[in-house]
Amino acid sequence: MIEFTFWDIVRNLLLAARWTVLLSLAAFIGGALVGLAVLFFRIAKNKWVKRIASGYIALFQGTPLLMQLFLMFFGLPMLGLRIEPWTAAALGLTFFASAYLAEIWRSGVDALPRGQWDAGASLGLHYLQELRLIILPQAFAITRAPTVGFLVQLIKSTALTSIIGFEELVRTSNAINNATFEPFKVYGLVALIFFVMCFPLTQYARRLERRAGAR
Amino acid sequence: MGYSLDFGWLAGALGAITRGAATTILLIAVTTLAGTFLSILGAAGKRNGPKPLQLAIGIYVEVMRNTPFLVQLFFIFFGLPSLGVRLDPILAAMLAMTLNMAAYTIEIVGAGLDAVPRGQSEAALALGLRPRQVFVKIVLPQALKVIYPALTSQIVIMMLESAVVSQIAVRELTYEADMLQARTFRAFETYFVVTMVYLGLSMGLRRLLVGGGRRVLGAGVS
């Protein structure tokens, strides 16, 4: 039997936490890129394009993330792709994040007065220029608080990838707990590590919200 | 491609899927009632309680909101037995879900309480109602009306999150899906069907809550 000292546990958990951070970043960046594409569809003028984007968002917001991860994990190999837990986790979280981010930013675009579009058009800008120069910068600015809030949700969601076998913080803690039988200590430390990652972001989001409210 | 979809197993699996869905509905029903009740107490305590209580509720909310539900679930399910409390998986799941949801709804209910003008409770006090009556009969109904949409979303989110309680062997929808795919070797099809069941559940739940809210809380609830 292997003896784990307190510091062994902490060290192993922190090493595993690197993967949690990396996965969160990958999913956030990937989700932002895909989410931007979904946003373009969602605010398009064509009714059908809009409807497809709404359906995409409703699908991801109306089903459990765990199911989405399972479908990635078991579905992609059917398309002939060899898939590791890391790929399934990163892709699954990317699509999950894209739906939420697109919807958050869409609310920002909707919140802008019509006059912003009209002013852009009267300056002779075409649709994409209007979006890039006038609409999106403002939409991003007013939705910064919910975007940061969603990042917190995304970090917490990485815990679910332990279930499809990705070696991040929670999966490592399960293994340690099985060896040490100290669930309070192990899961308490895991909760603490997540808290240290998420709490500053929560506070930041709250400050952004307050500043937006004061304006 | 050498793989073709096969849904032939579905006819024999309807019973298991229905049973799982029923457990998921039971979980979210209990969580909604207990969580809302707890959050009303919490929000009232955070506003009017003694200082240490206010501080404790504040810490509770922050800890729950900044850690993953899965970790909270493991902490409760694997941790409590070492204190000598042995919980049935389904009870542990209900406890974890309620505690998690309350942390979010305490903030929501609190925002609703703040939105009710002070004049409402002053008027009620002037009419001779006792403070408890003022809270239950005057302030709370108005607060609930304001926050009802946010509460509805939180309940749906919690229902979707409940999928992870399969990890402590609660026999709900996801657990039944795990069992089915192990038996049929049709993982993708099984999870696809169950995902669609979840989609139906979340849309139905939302519709039910909005309709029920209109009836109970009156017009103006969206």
pLDDT single digits (tens) A136-187 = 999 999 999 999 999 999 999 999 999 999 999 999 999 999 998 889 999 9
CA distance A196 to B37: 30
A80 in contact with B, Cβ within 8 Å: yes
- Residue A184 and residue B203: Cβ atoms within 8 Å? no
Where are chain B's structural domains?
Answer: 13-217
What integer pLDDT is reported at residue A199 of this predicted model? 97
Q: Please name the residue of chain B whose CA is at the shortest distance from the CA of residue A197.
A: B66
Residue B186 DSSP label: -
What's the full length of chain B, in residues?
Answer: 222
A124 — pLDDT class (breaks 50, 70, 90): very high
- B87 versus A213: which is more confidently predicted? B87
Residues in chain A within 8 Å Cβ distance of B177? 67, 70
Residues in chain A within 8 Å Cβ distance of B195? 63-64, 67-68, 71
* Complex ipTM value: 0.92
Residues 6+ apart with CB under 8 A from A118: none
- Residue A157 and residue B68: Cβ atoms within 8 Å? yes
H or E element that contains B195: helix B187-217
Residue bearing tokens 């739906």: A99
Nearest to A67 among B62, B167, B194 (CB): B194
B217 — pLDDT class (breaks 50, 70, 90): confident
A2 — pLDDT class (breaks 50, 70, 90): low
B167 contacts A50 by C-beta, under 8 angstroms = no
Give A 153-212 residues with CB within 8 A of chain B. 156-160, 162-163, 170, 173-174, 177, 181-184, 187-188, 190-191, 194-195, 198-199, 202
- What average pLDDT does this structure show over B49-73? 96
Task: Please state whether B74 falls in left (phi above 0), alpha (psi between -120 and 50) or beta.
Answer: alpha
- Residue B188 and residue A78: Cβ atoms within 8 Å? yes
pLDDT single digits (tens) A46-102 = 999 999 999 999 999 999 999 999 999 998 888 878 888 999 999 999 999 999 999
CA distance A71 to A91: 11
Q: Please name the residue of chain B whose CA is at the shortest distance from the CA of residue A203.
A: B62
- Residue A75 and residue B188: Cβ atoms within 8 Å? yes
CA distances B219 to A1, B110, B138, B216, Å, are: 65, 22, 17, 9
Give the closest-approach CA distance of B190 to chain A in angstroms: 9
In DSSP notation, B148-175 reads HHHHHHHHHHHHHHGGGGGGGT--SHHH
CA distance A45 to B30: 44
Going along chain A from its start, the domains and CATH numbers come out as 6-214 (1.10.3720.10)
Q: Is B25 exposed, middle or buried (0-12, 13-18, 19+ CB in 10 A)?
A: middle
What integer pLDDT is reported at residue B185 of this predicted model? 86
CA distance B173 to B24: 6
B190 — pLDDT class (breaks 50, 70, 90): very high
Instruction: Report angle CA B21, B25, B30 to the nearest 5 degrees.
Output: 150
User: What fold, for B13-217?
Assistant: MetI-like fold (1.10.3720)
Which amino acid does the sequence have at B202?
A: S
Residues in chain A within 8 Å Cβ distance of B156? 62
CA distance A104 to A145: 10
Nearest to B70 among A70, A159, A199 (CB): A159
What integer pLDDT is reported at residue A200 of this predicted model? 97
Give the closest-approach CA distance of A189 to chain B in angstroms: 10
Kindly report the three-state secondary structure assignment for every residue of chain A: CCCCCHHHHHHHHHHHHHHHHHHHHHHHHHHHHHHHHHHHHHCCCCHHHHHHHHHHHHHHHCCCHHHHHHHHHHHHHHHCCCCCHHHHHHHHHHHHHHHHHHHHHHHHHHHCCHHHHHHHHHCCCCHHHHHHHHHHHHHHHHCHHHHHHHHHHHHHHHHHHHCCCCCCHHHHHHHHHHHHCCHHHHHHHHHHHHHHHHHHHHHHHHHHHHHHHHC
- What average pLDDT does this structure show over B143-162? 94
- Residue B174 and residue A59: Cβ atoms within 8 Å? no
Instruction: Report angle CA A134, A135, A138 to the nearest 5 degrees.
Output: 90
| Nearest alpha-carbon partner for B169 in B101, B98, B91, B97 | B91
Mean pLDDT of chain A: 93
The pair of structure tokens assigned to B195 is 């995902």
Q: Residue B157 CA to chain centroid, in angstroms?
A: 7
- Please tell me the least confidently modeled range out of A44-58, B56-70, B81-95: B81-95
CA distance B70 to A19: 17
What integer pLDDT is reported at residue A81 of this predicted model? 80
pLDDT single digits (tens) A59-74 = 999 999 999 999 999 9
Residues in chain B within 8 Å Cβ distance of A177? 74, 78
Q: What is the pTM of this model?
A: 0.92
Test the A interface: residue of B59, B71, B104, B159 with most A CBs within 10 Å: B71
pLDDT single digits (tens) A10-51 = 999 999 999 999 999 999 999 999 999 999 999 999 999 999
Which amino acid does the sequence have at B7?
A: F
**Helix intervals (H) in B49-117:** 51-65, 69-79, 89-115
B83 — pLDDT class (breaks 50, 70, 90): confident
- Residue A183 and residue B71: Cβ atoms within 8 Å? no
- Which residues of B lie closer than 8 Å to A, measured between beta carbons? 1, 3, 62-63, 65-72, 74-75, 78-79, 82, 156, 160-164, 166-167, 174, 177, 181, 187-188, 191-192, 194-195, 198-199, 202-203
